[in-house]
Amino acid sequence: MSSNIGQNYPYSRETEPDRAAAVEQALGAFDGLRDRVAAEASPLPPAARDELWWVWACPADKGAGRLHVAGYARDRHAIYAVCDHCGASFLR
């Protein structure tokens, strides 16, 4: 069994306002992240304020950061997530 199997499971859930705030904070904190997300992901449709989103532990920084949904991947059928701690992006 792979040692990183837990990375495929969500860490927790967050509300739409929390998700939007975390993504905006990450986009402002890391140079080039906003442009990368714009180039690689399409925006999420308007969401209800009570909608819940999954959050994952970031595998790039050994789980110190959290991955928040930032959009849908343009080239693949996947959710595009960004880390609030290191600025890495992942498909989920």
Per residue in 11-66, pLDDT tens? 899 999 999 999 999 999 999 999 999 999 999 888 767 789 999 999 998 879 99
Structural domain span for residue 87: 5-91
In sequence order, the β-bridge partners of residue 91 are 80
Distance of CA 64 to the CA centre of its chain: 14
Run of H or E including 17:
helix 16-29
User: Which phi and psi angles does 84 have, rounded to 5°?
Assistant: -80, -5
Tell me: the pLDDT tens digits for 53-72? 999 999 998 879 999 999 99
How far apart are the C-alpha atoms of 13 and 2, rounded to whole Å?
Answer: 24
Query: Structural domain tally of the chain?
Result: 1
Give the closest residue to 53 by CA, choosing from 5, 89, 17, 7.
17
